[in-house]
Structure 1
Amino acid sequence: MSEDPQPHATGLFPHPQARLIAAGDRDGVAGEDLARAVRRAAGRFGELPPGPVFCGMRNTPASVFCYLGALEARRPIALLDPELPAAALGELVERFEPSALIGFTQAGGELGRRRTAPDPHPDLGLLLATSGSTGNPKLVRISRAAVLANARAIAVALSLGPHDVAPTSLPLHYSYGLSVLNSHLVAGGTVVLTEAGLLERSFWANLKAHSCTSLAAVPYQYTMLRRLRFDHADYPALTTLTQAGGRLAPELVKEFAAQAKRFYVMYGQTEATARIAVLPPDRLDDKPGSVGVAVPGGRLEIDGGEVVYHGPNVMMGYAETAADLARGDDLGGVLRTGDLGRLDDEGFLYVTGRTKRIAKVFGTRVNLDDVERLLRGSGAVAATSGDDRVTIWTETLDKPAMALLARQLAAQLRLHWSGFEIRHIDRLPLLPTGKIDYRALESMT
């Protein structure tokens, strides 16, 4: 790493050498100009009544200045999907009593009512939702110190510095996408802000025009890149690829690692601000299937089969109402991840499933992640739990093949075939992050 990342003297972010470039611009904003823009944004928050700010977080300079300004002003800010339906946004407004709504497509809820909850805790900096636009999400309470600690840890783990340039290939209201922004800003790197997706030509035109050096993606996006016949030779400046947001098929890890100078497999959770572990590129071959070792400053252990993470980037706790925002740190830096896993003798983590992705079929516990792994060769599939059965959702199979699949699965798991219901679906529902929306599937059973 060329330089130890340090926060700017006036606040958490940005490093004096950090730069933000809106797609299509040439130079962007950096140095004192960037610091001045953040201070201007921070000044606007002083005029608001107490309470968190809700920001419809887009991949644009205006949203980023809003976010950085809130951190500078010590004002808790919730980064939410800007396309939230009015009813969902209104429900969140009712529960959390924000002082302002900024950047949402649809209005949601009424502001200006007399605040009934105590003021938010002084350490609280960031709020992120635990689900997408559906359901009744809790908010993850993250301190400003945790944001900075994880940004620095990622910068060190990925050897980021002022030479690094990353596009916003993921939503900034998603913890993985936000971690790309945070880690580059703290390391003095450059972030190219674009709302274009990987399927749009303008994304790739901007990636080339700004000589982007890295690209962050979730497994679904790597599947898309394979279909697009992505060729690293078309983007000579692109030296680093990173992957998180779920398990990437081993053949895709191998394929994209062969194209990039550095390919990082990572593991994290919103509850840990973003990243928990990183697998260095030089250990891909001898640690297949591992998600790496704990990020700097963190520690991993296995307790009763569950992955437990210790570190300064662990959330303060969840919030379901405005009153919860006044609470201090409930967890003391210890996060029970809800993931099952094991550590090898070098401290490399292997995630084997979810404690809550468990179904019971005729009284027998069945790990739904294991079911999906068994069906990996059957096209796009997802497994959910039902009443004493497992439902398999598939995009590709006809009825005779579906019946055969149920019997094969039952034989592999030593259960009666009637415990497995195979359903065809035209397209598996996805969250904005590219992960399968299991809640949507469960609502159809």
Structure 2
Amino acid sequence: MTLVVPFIESHRNSERIALSDDQRSMAYRALHQAVLQRAEILQKHVSIARPVVILHAHNSIESVVNYLALLALDWVVMLLHPATPDALVNEYANRYNANLRVSEEAITVLSATGVNTDPRLSVLLSTSGSTGAGKCVALSQHNILSNCNAILDYLPIEESDITLATLPLSYSYGLSVLNTHLAKGAQCRFTEASVFDKAFWQILKDTPVTSLAGVPSFYEMLLRMRFNRMELPALRYFTQAGGKLASQFILQLADYAKLHHKQFFVMYGQTEATARMAFVEPGNIARKPGCIGKAIPGGEFMLLDDDDAPIYAVDTPGELCYRGENIMLGYAESAAALSAFSPSAWLKTGDLAQVDADGDYTIVGRKKRMLKVFGERVNLDAIEQLFAEQNLVVKCCGQDNKLLIACTEGDAEAVETLQKALIQLPASGVKICQVASFPLLNNGKTDYSSLMAMLLGENA
């Protein structure tokens, strides 16, 4: 059977560079051959028709080869961050009855028992973000390819481009950067250097990099490093998603883009919509620094009130709902859930938004108790439950890029120890606060609004 390799099939004989890192590069012709060879090796490890495979998605050439080989084989691949602890990997493996575990060159057989899977199912992306093995978003190749094509419709990616791939490939945003550049025949440049390393800036200048993609914390760090004072003549455009970047930073970046004849794209998305749902036209960013713009090509937004009735009035908040070919098949929490999916026509995002007279949408809040901290989705209730399981009572609140964990006096040391063990977030994104008691509503429930005001007041 001749395998078709997604994204790169149309330029499989090209000698243009597809992938590069600090040591080597690989042209599209060589990448295509490497994918076919890897697929052949993978097939020797299982005799099951459509195995479930855990792939440790490093930002590396080898991981891309593994990813494309698994897609070409039409197997089910669960992408996990390479830093995922073994105990958590084992939990995923047991819950979803994974057959193989793949990390770079290593292949480990986990189970010879087949799992009944929906024929459309292709990729599983975890929604847990910072805590234990949670449910996964189930995506089809159609979801992934349709979102890739929609992004290519509005982003000015050219086959001569080089993007500096700093986002994890296990994250839908990072994965979409890879997919779109491969589909266009452009180059993804991987590096282990951070924005605080001299090597990062050397790569940015010498490669030369034509585009960047990052979450809010990435651009906050870039601005602290005086990014907006740099010429960077090769850089043509840069994109931001993964949470709300403060308006003052958006305006600084928009000013930089205008002054240096570059394009700055602010985008909005969720894993449940594969990656992107909306973008702001670069010319509108300075005028509307807080908005998410309009739906991507082929997509559509709708606002619903508390009774699920459509809202047609401007500047009236409601739950943001999205319709498009990139909406997930559904959620899965175990191997049994992989057998069949019934996709919804509309995705309820859980975000509250409003639309202005120009048709541009702005997020005004979250319906559910979720935060995004450095691009990772954080479920506040799930974190409280983690501590409760260890007989520690905490209450969580916060803002984007700052998780606040409140505990009563005397528990701070135990809470801090457990937090470091259980919550995989940068230290700067978490703060533990002691309170005399938790504020309560009249019904006896925690008054999170008062708690938030109290904690923010202490940290002002």
Structures share fold, TM-score greater than 0.5: yes
The equivalent position to 2:322 in structure 1, one of 304, 309, 320, is: 309
Task: Give the partner amino acid of 1:287.
Answer: K
Q: How does 1:212-231 map to 2 (within 5 A)?
A: 212-231=209-228
Work out whether 1:255 is the aligned partner of 2:252: yes
Q: Conserved in 2, the CA contact under 8 Å of 1:394 and 1:424?
A: no
1:93 to 1:159, Cα distance in 2 relative to 1, 3 A: same
Aligned to 2:171: 174
Task: Give the partner amino acid of 2:18.
Answer: L
Q: How does 1:247-326 map to 2 (within 5 A)?
A: 247-260=244-257, 261-304=262-305, 305-326=318-339
Q: Conserved in 2, the CA contact under 8 Å of 1:168 and 1:194?
A: yes
Q: How does 1:275-424 map to 2 (within 5 A)?
A: 275-304=276-305, 305-328=318-341, 330-357=342-369, 372=399, 381-382=402-403, 420-422=453-455
The equivalent position to 2:7 in structure 1, one of 5, 13, 31, is: 13
Task: Give the partner amino acid of 1:98.
Answer: A
Aligned to 1:377: none
State the identity as a percent: 35
Q: Conserved in 2, the CA contact under 8 Å of 1:382 and 1:394?
A: no
What is the distance in 2 between the residues matched to 1:130 and 1:295?
A: 23
CA distances 1:215-260 after superposition (whole Å, capped 9, x unpaired) = 1111111111122222453422112111111111111011112222
CA RMSD across the alignment: 3.6
Q: CA deviation at 1:415?
A: 11
Aligned to 1:188: 185
Q: CA deviation at 1:112?
A: 2.7
**SS of equivalent to 1:422:** helix
Q: Conserved in 2, the CA contact under 8 Å of 1:169 and 1:198?
A: no
Q: CA deviation at 1:209?
A: 2.4
Q: CA deviation at 1:113?
A: 5.3
1:137 to 1:49, Cα distance in 2 relative to 1, 3 A: farther
Q: CA deviation at 1:346?
A: 3.1
**SS of equivalent to 2:230:** helix
Q: How does 1:74-223 map to 2 (within 5 A)?
A: 74-103=74-103, 111-112=110-111, 114-115=113-114, 117-118=115-116, 120-132=117-129, 134-223=131-220
Task: Give the partner amino acid of 1:10.
Answer: V
Q: Conserved in 2, the CA contact under 8 Å of 1:84 and 1:106?
A: no
Q: Conserved in 2, the CA contact under 8 Å of 1:88 and 1:134?
A: no
Q: Which 5+ residue runs of structure 2 have no aligned equivalent?
A: 306-317, 371-379, 381-395, 409-426, 440-446
What is the distance in 2 between the residues matched to 1:421 and 1:106?
A: 50
The normalised TM-score by structure 1 is 0.77
Q: CA deviation at 1:357?
A: 2.7
Q: Conserved in 1, the CA contact under 8 Å of 2:52 and 2:78?
A: yes
Q: CA deviation at 1:394?
A: 9.9
Work out whether 1:72 is the aligned partner of 2:84: no
**SS of equivalent to 2:159:** coil
CA distances 1:155-198 after superposition (whole Å, capped 9, x unpaired) = 11112121221011111111111111111111221111223222
The normalised TM-score by structure 2 is 0.74
**SS of equivalent to 1:170:** coil
Task: Give the partner amino acid of 1:342.
Answer: Q
Work out whether 1:22 is the aligned partner of 2:20: yes
Q: CA deviation at 1:396?
A: 12
Task: Give the partner amino acid of 1:281.
Answer: P
1:425 to 1:87, Cα distance in 2 relative to 1, 3 A: farther
Q: Conserved in 2, the CA contact under 8 Å of 1:146 and 1:315?
A: yes
Q: Conserved in 1, the CA contact under 8 Å of 2:81 and 2:170?
A: yes
Aligned to 2:52: 52
